Structure 1
Amino acid sequence: MYIYLLILAFAIVCSFFIKKGEAKSSALLVLWFGVLALFVGFSDMLGGYDRYIYGELFDEVADVRLAGGDVKTAYIFELYASEWGFSWLNVGISYITANRYIFILILTIAIYVLLFISFIRYVDNYPFAIMLFMGLIFFFTFTYLRQLLGVGIGWLSITYAYKRKLLKFLAVVLLATLIHNSGIILLPVYFLAKKQFSKTTVVWVMLFCLIIGVTGIPSTLFDLYGSVSDMEGRGQQYAENEVGFKVEYILEAFFFLYFILRNYEKIPNTPSKTILLNMALAFCAILLIFIKSLNGGRLGWYYLIGLISTLSLIVPNAKRITSQYLALVVFSCFLYLRILLFSWGPLGTLYPYKSFFTNGVRKGDWVHDKWEYDLDYDIDKFHR
């Protein structure tokens, strides 16, 4: 557990003590995302069930290809019939390695490279944005590899949205959707660059989203859509228990809305800033719409860069540490510690930290006991 606390401590130090003139230091961002990518990528199946299913699917693809068979007969092509971009990505990586740990490492590095590109493009204050990232999405990079790969690709489309390059925008969104079907939720982004809405309109829309969310209709539809696979379904109960409480969606949405609306006039009325602002508002709206679905809120990840970008623009100022700045850093720490101390940590999916450079299994790792499909990995992590 202490290694995770140390990472958080470094993020806090950077958010408070990096000089204003160094707030857009690309070297800092490279260092942070590089270290995080390796820290997550080197971990030994930490995070839960999802790593095992992705590892099992990849191992089969590698086995079929190495045996000279038709890779399209691998189960991944049946399981992700409409997301064949991810399936063919597995095939491509199988030419590099047949080992699931190297496969996961490659995916993790790809995710962080994509996120790094978006931070460079859209974020104004890297230390502050990293602090938000740590609280909002860092831990999910351990386990939701396929969706976060789709998110990273999807964020690249924002540039084409505010530059009004429709075909390029659609091509990137399509690519994200072929990795994870949820990427389709980015389609409205193209129309979000047109205008800033009044604060009154924003408030009424958010209240309407909350009412819709209370009915449970969007959550029911999402859960029906998500229950399309027996293999994914066998991990559903585990996934539902690990994410947190639905009330947190409401708290997060209104907490962030408060800071956005309080500083609304600071946001330049330009296509790029407007689209990121409206994405931030859409992120809050999605949380409110899916307050009765723990997994439905994951759709908001596609709009999260808007929130990070907008807050990093409007909250920091020449005084460096304001009450708003401090409140957001503290809230990010709360979100981080919530998962570490009260959710995934006590479940044994995060600590003790173990890399795949040492053989064996963590003591008491019930996720391994339930989902491990190749016990030879326990003896030799590089047996493939």
Structure 2
Amino acid sequence: MIIYLTLFLIATILYFSANRKTPSIGYYIFIGLLILVSGFRDMIGGYDVYIYGEVYEYINKYTYLRSTFEKGFIAYFIGLNYINGQREFMFFITALIMVLLHFYTIKKYSPILYMSAFIFFCKFFLMSFVYLRQGLAMGLVWLSIRYVIQKRYMPFVCIVLLAFFMHKSAILFLPFIVIAHKKLGPYQLFLITTASFIIAISPLGQLILNYFIEGIDYAKLNIYGEKFTAINVFYLLEAVLLAYLALKFRKHFYQSTPTIVIFNGFLLYVLIILISLTNATFVRLAWVFFIFVVVALPYMYTFITDFKLQRTFKIAIFVYYTFVFFRLLTVFDGGDFMPYKSIFQDFNRNGQWEFMEYR
């Protein structure tokens, strides 16, 4: 717990530091600590972590043909395995690549670096322990944003397809190039968000998700597609708040090409959450557009001219994402992120998935 609290404290100090776009030494120290904490963790991250570890350590030439993982991800495993066959090496290199790719994009597009870093840390850092394939795919697909802004379709498609072979959810980014530069009116935004909510709570929502599953032929998503439940109130609240902010700041984003693209990516994140309200697992498909939330919220902060409102907005963002972080830490997998244990420590953390240890 102390490790997580230390990281959160550093992120908080950065968050309330002077607004800046250029990084300080403290920022780079923070990134380094994220890499070390994530990379040297000892089998923390749930069921999938043990599967990744076992596949990596027992990988062979037949795995490429038989594995249910994406071919690009297996190729990545095979390449790493030639260097070192221990799972500890794989987890560290994966954490290194993931963190560097993610924070490269944050630095490139955020108007307030520390605010974006805090939002990203609170929402995704812990999940990066779990979502190895998706985290790598996110880092790759976000490299294509520059080509979306420049309307360079060929490199954009190539990067998205590369990410698709790392995790199939990346294919959701492909249609983005078509709508990235569109300007929507307030009534259009209202109708789209309302329609998305109606679709989510109707049988049509399940039909659309099932069609998507069949379209990419992904066996694991077929399992997820069956997990329809009642409306997830937490995600509904998030979607409503973000949709409100989209309506409020729409005109400000429509002043330049980069911010138009950022706004439309932000809107797609909201729409995916709305459509997936009855399936908490499917909400993870929105991760590919999460970078736009990370970048758009600081832009909204800069659009506010009243100092008191600006301060209130910043505090509200801090409170909300603090809640998100500690909720993930204590609730996800029954709090299985705790206690933190590194590969250099020798104690029994009594994790609920330790029965899957194959060594």
Letter in 1 for 2:180: A
Per-residue CA deviations over 1:192-251 (Å, capped at 9, x if unaligned) read: 332321122111100000011112544466476599558x96xx7xxx8xxx98222111
TM-score (norm 2): 0.89
Q: Does 1:183 align with 2:182?
A: no
Number of residue equivalences? 351
Letter in 2 for 1:188: P
Assess if the C-alpha contact under 8 Å between 1:183 and 1:302 holds in 2.
yes
Q: Does 1:115 align with 2:102?
A: yes
Going from structure 1 to structure 2, the CA distance change for 1:251 and 1:77 (only over 3 Å counts) comes to farther
What is the RMSD computed on CA atoms of the aligned residues? Answer: 2.7
Superposition map of 1:72-87 within 5 A: 73-74=62-63, 76-80=64-68, 83-87=70-74
Find the counterpart in structure 1 of residue 39 from structure 2: 41
Q: Does 1:293 align with 2:279?
A: yes
**What 5-or-longer segments of structure 1 have no aligned partner?**
65-70, 375-384
Assess if the C-alpha contact under 8 Å between 1:263 and 1:315 holds in 2.
no
Counterpart CA distance in 1 for 2:311 and 2:240 is 20
Going from structure 1 to structure 2, the CA distance change for 1:216 and 1:326 (only over 3 Å counts) comes to farther
Find the counterpart in structure 2 of residue 10 from structure 1: 10
Counterpart selection for 2:114 from 113, 127, 132: 127
Counterpart CA distance in 2 for 1:306 and 1:300 is 11
**What 5-or-longer segments of structure 2 have no aligned partner?**
none
Counterpart CA distance in 1 for 2:138 and 2:121 is 16
Find the counterpart in structure 2 of residue 67 from structure 1: none
Going from structure 1 to structure 2, the CA distance change for 1:78 and 1:216 (only over 3 Å counts) comes to farther
Q: Does the residue aligned with 1:137 lie in a helix, a strand or coil?
A: helix
Find the counterpart in structure 2 of residue 343 from structure 1: 332
Letter in 2 for 1:272: P
Assess if the C-alpha contact under 8 Å between 1:260 and 1:311 holds in 2.
no
Q: Does the residue aligned with 1:263 lie in a helix, a strand or coil?
A: helix
Per-residue CA deviations over 1:231-286 (Å, capped at 9, x if unaligned) read: x96xx7xxx8xxx9822211111112223322333325222111111000100000
Assess if the C-alpha contact under 8 Å between 2:236 and 2:274 holds in 1.
yes
Assess if the C-alpha contact under 8 Å between 1:263 and 1:314 holds in 2.
yes
Letter in 2 for 1:12: T
Counterpart CA distance in 1 for 2:131 and 2:195 is 30
Shift of 1:77: 3.4
Assess if the C-alpha contact under 8 Å between 2:98 and 2:135 holds in 1.
yes
Shift of 1:178: 0.4
Q: Does 1:194 align with 2:193?
A: no
Per-residue CA deviations over 1:310-350 (Å, capped at 9, x if unaligned) read: 11112146749511111111101111111122334xx2421
Assess if the C-alpha contact under 8 Å between 1:146 and 1:180 holds in 2.
yes
Q: Does the residue aligned with 2:85 lie in a helix, a strand or coil?
A: coil
Counterpart CA distance in 1 for 2:258 and 2:192 is 22
Q: Does the residue aligned with 2:353 lie in a helix, a strand or coil?
A: helix
Q: Does 1:140 align with 2:127?
A: yes
Going from structure 1 to structure 2, the CA distance change for 1:219 and 1:96 (only over 3 Å counts) comes to farther
Shift of 1:23: 4.1
Find the counterpart in structure 1 of residue 312 from structure 2: 323
Q: Does 1:333 align with 2:322?
A: yes
Counterpart CA distance in 2 for 1:113 and 1:245 is 35
Going from structure 1 to structure 2, the CA distance change for 1:175 and 1:222 (only over 3 Å counts) comes to same
Letter in 2 for 1:36: L
Per-residue CA deviations over 1:115-139 (Å, capped at 9, x if unaligned) read: 0221122111111111211232121
Counterpart CA distance in 2 for 1:14 and 1:59 is 38
Assess if the C-alpha contact under 8 Å between 1:24 and 1:124 holds in 2.
no
Going from structure 1 to structure 2, the CA distance change for 1:190 and 1:221 (only over 3 Å counts) comes to closer
Counterpart CA distance in 2 for 1:121 and 1:299 is 23
Counterpart CA distance in 2 for 1:151 and 1:77 is 24
Letter in 2 for 1:280: F
Superposition map of 1:163-312 within 5 A: 163-219=150-206, 222=209, 228-229=218-219, 246-312=232-298
TM-score (norm 1): 0.84
Counterpart CA distance in 1 for 2:245 and 2:160 is 29
Assess if the C-alpha contact under 8 Å between 1:250 and 1:288 holds in 2.
yes
Letter in 2 for 1:32: F
Counterpart CA distance in 2 for 1:219 and 1:169 is 30
Identical aligned residues as a percent: 27
